[in-house]
Structures are given as structure tokens and as C-alpha cells.
Structure 1
Amino acid sequence: MNCCGFTLGKMNCVVFGIVLSLVLEVTYVSTSGFLWNLPKPNILLILTDDQDVVLHGLTPMHNVQQLIGSMGVTFSNAFASSPICCPSRASILSGMYAHNHRTVNNSLSGGCYGSYWRKKVEPKVLPVVMQQSGYDTFFAGKYLNEYSGRNVPPGWREFHGLQGNSRYYNYSLNENGRMNSYSDRYLTDLITEKTIAFLEERKVGMRPFFAMIAPPAPHAPFTPAPRHRNAFAGLKTPRTANFNVISGNLDKHWLVAFSQKMSTRLVSTLDVYYQKRWESLLAVDEMVGSIVNSLNQTGELDNTYIIFTSDNGYHLGQFAQPFDKRQPYETDIRVPFLVRGPNVPKKSIVSAPISLIDLVPTIYEWTGIIPRGNEDGISFHAYLMNPKYNPLFDRGFHREILIQHWGEGNDQTFNYQCPWKKSDGLSECTLDADCHCQDSRNNTYACIRHFRFGTNKLYCEFQDHEQFVEAYDLDEDPYQMENLGYEMLPIERALYSLALHNLTTCVGSSCRIVNL
């Protein structure tokens, strides 16, 4: 009987297969060509909530910059596949675009911790695969916005999951199936305490771990720890070239074109929020310092990949949109992304474009796990290990990253305190934003963030009655002030539209063969 090229008896072939599978567990060859042996690396993912990078959201985080960035690689072109919390987190956990995991917004009706996720996707997500591959697993912080109840999501041996959306005080955690409520414990500090306890309780020679740490900062209500209040007193949100700029009907899609110029009072509110966002991140920065110090003391630091990123970006005042995400612009889709770990070059900047859906295949490569075949992203390990290579100067390189959002606007999102009608289909209209609305049912779009030699573009199509199109050349127009969507040659626009159709229907490997 032929068995992998060897002629063996039937029983011997079975034994051979078992032995081979065991060998593959301890010795494997990465796609980069390196032979890796035990011990397998630890993986520690730190995921902040709504942290921008375009508006300098990393600036207050000295530990992150020094202990991760300076000791590893910073990716300068990292993107969320959906600029909103729950779909993006579902993509991080599954490695899938939103049209495949079907979590399309932050509501239960939009699939956030809905039945499709729980029954079809969650049983196969990253922590499940890591646990099945022999990893100890740990989670602390915000899971998915609509997560609630005593059920511990599959794949986590130790779980401290926030019930619902981010908050800093007066919250409940599901801790390994037991509900615990906290009123005056600052959540970021509690997450730090739980994480350090997990790291310090580990024994020498224990199996490797996968830990996911998800603090609430700098998500609204932007509450800093008491010790950090007024640490950045007087700080103002950046007055970017597109700050408080209103757009004509031909410049931007309906929701943004609908915006009115922000008042002086509202601009002052944005300054306060920007200051508090920075201050709320200081406790996360201290967390990073504590985690690195703990790993160093236990001797596991050199064998641990530490990834620091956010689920999406954030805007404050760009195009007169007060404070939120949900838009296809650079403020909302770009995220901080820093990595340190075994053999990762230090003090390096990598310009290769990556998406948060690339985390799953990369972690599989680091740990020698065979991909499951349903991953929409690609491993960025080769870029990580060769930061001097700039793919944007390689005439053969291309990358097309899909950005998706499904707008909300219905009777449940209507705010009677604002002067709009239910039929307007608006959402996220709040008094502190002077009733500027941050979302609408026609704010539904799909975009391609396109990179290749001489190309750095964004192309978007909106599902509204106008079938509105936006396109930008980011090299020439980094603030996205000039919509080129209606100036493109018909053939160019048709090619982008076809590529967008292919991406929005892709599954697994077909998401990686779109070529513009």
C-alpha cells in the first residue's frame, strides 16, 4: 500500500500517518522557508477599541512605542476590513470578511453575536483552533458588542468577558461562566490585573499560550483613570485640512454631504473628547508595560509575539462629522499595528499594506497550524521578517483590501430629541453632537483600498438610490478632498466595479486573486 510515497502494509500505513501527524505538531517549515522547532511561540494580542492612528492616537503611548514598536515592527499601512467594532472583531477572530461571517453591524439583528455567528462561525474561530492545537487560551475585556449571558464562547480556557459594549465603570464580566459585577473598579486596570495573574501563574514548561486582551479605551465615554485625569489638559483635536469642511452634493455621499458646519461649542466638545481619549489610553499604556515586564520576569518574553492594534480608527470633525467611525475615509479605516516577537527585526517600519483579516493566517504560520481554508486574508510574516523590502516599489506587487459597512437607520435608532423624522433612516444622532447623525441606512458601501506600483487609491460604491461613487488618489490627495469617482475613465471605473463585485462575493482563496 502506497503511503506518502512509501510502500507499507495497511496497519503500518495507519501508524505512519499517526506518527507523521505528531511530527508535524513539533516540527514544521514556514512559508518563509525557515525550519522552526519547539518550543512553539506564545501569542499575545492587545486590541484597543476605536483607536485612531491618523489623528496621532499612538502619540501618548510611550510604552507601546518603546516596548513593542522599537523592539519590533510598525506597519504603516494597516486597515480594518470594517470601520465598526463588532464586524471588525468578528473578522479578527475568524479571518473572514464581513460578508462571510455575516456580522454586518453592532446590533443583534445585524449579526453581532447572532445565531449565525454562534452556530456557524464561532465554533471554528482562532481561539478554538489554537486550543485544539495544544495552546492554553486566555481572554479579558470586550468580546463582541452584543455578547451577554453565562455562555463562555468556545476556545477559551480562561475567560473574563465584558457584557455588552465598552464602559469603564459599572459593568459585569462573565468570568468562566460566573457573572461578576463591578461598580468602582476601573476596567482597564482590572483587565491588567487578570492578565498579569494569568502570566505569573504559568509554570515552567507549560504549553504555549494564546491571550487576547481587549481594554475599552479609547471608546466613548472616553473615561480616563482618576490618576490620568487632565494629564493632557488643553489638548485640542488636530485641525486637519478636512476638519469642519462641508461637502457639496457631488463631493461626498449623502450622509456626509448632509452635514452642516459644526458650531464653536461642538468643536470645543471635540477638543475635550480628544483630550480624554488620550488620557484613557494611558492606563492601556501602563498595561503594556506591566505585561512586557511580567513576560520578561517569567522568561517568556523572547518567545512571545506581541501584537498591538485596534478594531477600527476614528474621526473627530473631519468633513464636519463630529465623532465616530463608520466612514470609508483614512481616519476610520486605518489602525495602529505593531508587532514584536522571535527574530522580528527591531526599530523597523513596514509599508506593506495589511488588513486585520491577515492576523489569523499569520498566527497560523507562526505556530505551524495548517490553514483551515476559509481564511480570506494572507500571512504578513514575510513582510515582518524583511522590513527593507518595500512592495510599493515592486512593479509586480499588488494588494486589494476590501472595506465594508452596512448602514443602520430604523425606528429603533431614531432619536426623538433631534429634529429629524423616522422616515429619514438616520442613526447615531446625539445631543452632544448637536444632532449631527453618524450613520444612516443608505450609508452602506463597499470599497477597495488599492495598492500597487504607482497606485495608492480608494474606490467606493454606495448602495443608495444614486448608486454614489467615491474615489481618491491618496498620494495626491491624502485628506480625500477631491472625489475622482466621476472623473475616471469609463474602462477604469468598470474594472474597479468588477473587482469590487468579485471581492464582495469572494470566499477564502478567491479573496486573494483579485488583481487590478
Structure 2
Amino acid sequence: MRMLHSTVIAFLALALLAGVDCKPVAGVGSTERLNVLLIVLDDLNTSPGCYGNPVVKTPNIDLLAQRGARFDRAYCQFSLCNPSRASFLSGLRPETTGVLNNKTPPRKKLKETVFLPELFRLHGYFTARVGKIAHDKYSESVSWDISEGKDQIGSVLDPDCFGREWCATSNRDEDELDGRVARRIVRLLEESRDRPFFISAGFSLPHSPWYAPKKYFDLYPLGEIPLPADFASSGAAAHEIRQSRAAYYASLSFVDAQIGLIIGALDSLGLTRNTVVVFTSDHGFHLGEHGGIFDKRTLFEESVRVPLIVSAPGFPEAAVSPRIVELVDLFPTLTELCGLPGVDGLEGISFVPLLSEPNRPWKSAAFSTAVKSKRVTRSVRTERYVYIEDVNGGKPRLYDHETDPQESVNQAKNRQYADVLADMRRRLKEGWRGQSRPPRDVKRQD
């Protein structure tokens, strides 16, 4: 575990001298400090059942949505693991972090930055991560009281699965890596019930390879797996698409069962009443859309839109917000919910007001970046339109979600969209500072 940086220690000293108030925000019905349980999956798109997928079986994720707020327009800032995680852990956008690939250490530029769990640790919280929170290669860039990755957790590899892209294993749930992550999280919750905590569960699935016990694959007979709406082929290609989708869904249902163990522990330990639970993913993933893509390094909706559920004590249940939020907003949202002081320089905004009023006016746009084969693309999204620009000079793309939710018809050369195109170009040029702030009447809760 890394030592805390000198500026972090200085920050703590100043906070203590200032007599920081660490009570939760008004409206949660208690002056007790709120805990945080952050659940992060890898490569998860909006496949959970609560997002409208009639095939996928995720009863425990759906239960979280019933207990809190589901955000239908949540977007990552970069469609790749390391850049996205560095962004939401720092509260800064990829252009600021300098992390634009999986090879750049987050601390290369963010030398003295206080990451989200480190801030909670400074304010007296016990902090722990089990599994993948920061990108695996740079897990030690974030300091925790307990930090355990796959090397510490271990797993049992079914020998019949070696080298395969997907596999229905003969393992028990507790033999799989993510099964062990969940059980270790349960033990930490049991040990932490009498102290404020920030505990993070980082699941490796549904990132490939898609390995899960056979009983989860049995949930998805190939004949019941739909093809992408824009997929026109048949025969072997269609079979392969269905098989990959079934494996992805089986992996997700397996993780859902592990999340059920964690929710059950929260309930049995009496921690649900004072714990903020956040469920999300670092970015999405394509499952054969747009001509058979199985990748994340695009700016299509399947890649940059992520599931986001926030269950916070004292706020309405079963809420659904259609407003735009971004993963970079998690940092200020969690600090506000838990009554920690604001941090200067963050590049997201707290969406706590949306937890009470999910339909209220909010930020006008979300911004994302992708890099593939050294080609950099940037996008700006409003609640209706998507504009994607190739920094290397490729043709621009404009999609209208009202008439084309699959993003299959590029309207950039359509004269009827000339004004829209000009407006979206302006928004992208101005950037998040000019477009992502909520209306002036939105006020921080005290």
C-alpha cells in the first residue's frame, strides 16, 4: 500500500484545523455518518433487466434500482478502462488527467491528486477495495487501508476453459474470482459495521473472457438470444453473435448473484439504513451492433453509456432520471452525500439534487473520448443528439436519437440538420465548461 502524499497529509491537517463537518447532507434523516459501498463492473453496458432488456436476468441489480435512483443517461468520459477509472476516481476529465490509454500511470501527471477513496480516508473512514477499481496494472496508484487485487484473491481455473474466449465452468460460485471478491466484501462489511467505511467491490466480469459456472449459461438458450437490431446476416455469423451474447449475459447473471450476497449482508447487518450504494461500470461494450462490433473503443451509445444506480438513505426509491450525468460527477456527488467538504478543481458536478427530483432541469451535455489505432474521436451528447468528431480529420457524424436510437443514419450532410450540426459543433468546441453546468437555479444542498 502506498504512503499518502505530502500534500494529502497537509490537506488533512488543514481540514482538521477548519473543524470540518462530516455529517451527511440534510434530507437523509440522520446525523449519522453515511457509509459508501461502490460496486464497479468491467465492460458492462446497459444490459441489466432494469434497463429494459427482456432477456437478461439480473434480479439483484434490479432490486438496487428499486431501492434508489436509476440514471438512464449516464456516460463515461473515455471508453477504455484505465482512462475512465482514472477520471472518475480523480473527479477530473481525461484531458486533465493525461491518461488516454491503458499504458499511462495515473500518477504520471496526477502526482499529488487526492483520489476519491483517499479523501474519505482522510476524514476518518475505513477504506478498502477488493478487485478492480483502478486499472489492474496501476491499482497501487490509489491508497486504501486494505487493497486486494486478483493476485491476493485468487481463483480456481477450470482446466477445460484454458485459452477460451468463453466457458461454462464446472466451478462453484465461490471458486470464481468474482465470487471470491463478493465473499471478501461481505467479511469486510461484517468487520466494519461499527465504523464509517468506503468499501469498493471491483468485479472483473463481464469483461472477456466470459467464464461463469454452467448454471448461469443454462439461463440463456441460444434460440432465445436476439440478434442486434441492425444485424442482417444469418447462419454461422448469427450463431456466433448469439453465442457471444449468451456468454456475456451469463457472466452478468453470475455477477448479479454475487451482488445479491453483498446486498443480503448489508440488510442482515443493519447497514442499509446508513449506506450509500453506487452501482456502475467503467464503460459499456458492443455485442455485435453496428455491423458486428465486439469492442468498447467507440463513441456509439453501446460503448459510452453506462448503467448507474445510486441508492442513498432518505431519498426516493424506484426513481428514474432521464437527465444527463457523467461518471466524473461521482466524486462530488459522494462527497456531498456524506457531508465531506467540497474539493476545488473538480470537473464534474454533484447530482444530489436529481436524487430528490429526478426530472428537474440539469446539465445540457455529456462529453466522451475514444482512441483506437491512434485515431482520436470526441463526442458531445445532448438528450436528443450525438455529434462525433474525428480529431485526425475523418468525416463528422451526427445522430438523432428521436428518430434513430441505433445511431445508424449519419445526418451530418443532411441540410435539414444544418443548424443542429452547427450547434453541436459549437458545444464540442466550447467543451464541458460551457455546456455541462446545470441551470442557475440548481443549488447545492446544505
TM-score (norm 1): 0.71
Match 1:406 to one of 360, 371, 376: 371
| 1:463–1:70 distance in 2 versus 1, CA, 3 Å | same
Cross-structure match for 1:116: 108
Secondary structure of the residue that 1:217 maps to in structure 2? coil
Cα-to-partner distance string for 1:412-466 (whole Å, 9 max, x where unaligned): xxxxxxxxxxxxxxxxxxxxxxxxxxxxx33x21110113xxxx1101110234x
Give the aligned partner of residue 289 of structure 1.
260
Q: What one-letter code is carried by the residue in structure 1 that aligns with 2:43?
A: D
AA at the equivalent of 2:111: K
| Contact preservation (8 Å) 1:81, 1:97 | yes
2:191 to 201, 206, 209: 201
Aligned to 2:77: 81
Deviation at 1:79, TM superposition (A): 1.3
Measured after TM superposition, the shift of residue 126 of structure 1 is 0.4
Which structure has the bigger radius of gyration? 1
Q: Distance in 2 between matches of 1:235 and 1:368?
A: 50
Q: 1:401 to 1:282 in 2, by over 3 A?
A: same
C-alpha contact (below 8 Å) 2:285/2:302 kept by paired residues: yes
Which segments of 5 or more consecutive residues in structure 1 lack a partner in the other structure?
A: 1-16, 171-183, 245-261, 392-396, 409-440
Higher RCO (CA-CA < 8 Å; seq separation 6+): 2
Aligned with residue 474 of structure 1, among 395, 401, 408? 401
Corresponding residue for residue 42 of structure 2: 49
Cα 1:229–1:495 change in 2 (3 A) is closer
Note if contact 1:169-1:187 (Cα within 8 Å) is conserved in structure 2: no
In 1: Cα distance, 2:264 partner to 2:253 partner:
17
Q: 2:313 aligns with which of 342, 346, 349?
A: 342
The letter of the residue matching 2:408 is M
Q: Which residue of 1 aligns with 2:381?
A: 449
Partner of 1:314: 285
Q: Which residue of 2 aligns with 1:238?
A: 226
**Residue number in structure 2 paired with 1:463:** 391
Q: Which residue of 1 aligns with 2:18?
A: 21
The reply on whether 1:38 has 2:35 as its aligned counterpart is: no
Cα deviation 1:325-350 (Å, max 9, x = unaligned): 11111111111111212012112211
Equivalent residue letter for 2:430: N
- The 8 Å contact of residues 364 and 435 in structure 2, kept in 1 or not, is answered as no
Which residue identity is paired with 2:31? L
1:310-389 matches, within 5 Å, as: 310-387=281-358, 389=359
Contact preservation (8 Å) 2:125, 2:197: yes
The residue type paired with residue 280 of structure 1 is S
CA distance in 2, matches of 1:380, 1:26: 19
Letter in 2 for 1:476: T
RMSD over aligned Cα, in angstroms? 3.0
Percent identity over the alignment is 24
Aligned twin of 1:498: 426
TM-aligned CA distance change 1:268 to 1:298, over 3 Å:
same
What's the counterpart of residue 137 of structure 1? 127
- State the alpha-carbon separation in 1 of the partners of residues 23 and 86 from structure 2: 30
Sort the Cα spacing of 1:26 and 1:372 in 2 relative to 1 into closer, same or farther, 3 A: closer
Letter in 2 for 1:65: D
Map Cα deviations across residues 394-423 of structure 1 (whole Å, 9 max, x no partner): xxx551110111223xxxxxxxxxxxxxxx
- 1:63 aligned residue: 60
- Contact (CA 8 Å) 1:459, 1:496: kept in 2 or not? yes
Shift of 1:90: 1.4
Contact in 2 for aligned 1:76/1:351 (Cα 8 Å): yes
Q: How far apart are the structure 1 equivalents of 2:183 and 2:438?
A: 45
* 189-198 or 321-330, which deviates more: 321-330
- For residues 470-490 of structure 1, what are the alpha-carbon distances to aligned partners after superposition, in whole Å with 9 as ceiling and x for unaligned? 011111111112111122565
Partner secondary structure for residue 130 of structure 1: helix
**Structure 1 contact 142–163 (Cα < 8 Å) conserved:** no
Q: Structure 1 233/27 Cα, relative in aligned 2: closer, same or farther at 3 Å?
A: closer
Q: 1:146 to 1:398 in 2, by over 3 A?
A: closer
For 1:19 and 1:278, the matched residues in 2 are separated by 47
Q: What is the deviation of 1:287?
A: 1.9
Kept in 2: contact 1:499–1:514 (CA 8 A): no
Deviation (angstroms), 1:285: 1.4
Unaligned runs of 5+ in 2: 1-13, 159-173, 440-446
- Aligned pairs, how many? 405
Cα distance change on mapping 1:390 and 1:18 into 2, 3 Å: closer
Q: Which residue of 2 aligns with 1:175?
A: none
Structure 1: how far apart are the matches of 2:353 and 2:438? 20
Post-superposition offset of 1:84: 2.0
Q: Which amino acid aligns with 1:333?
A: V
Which moves more between the two structures, 485-494 or 467-476?
485-494
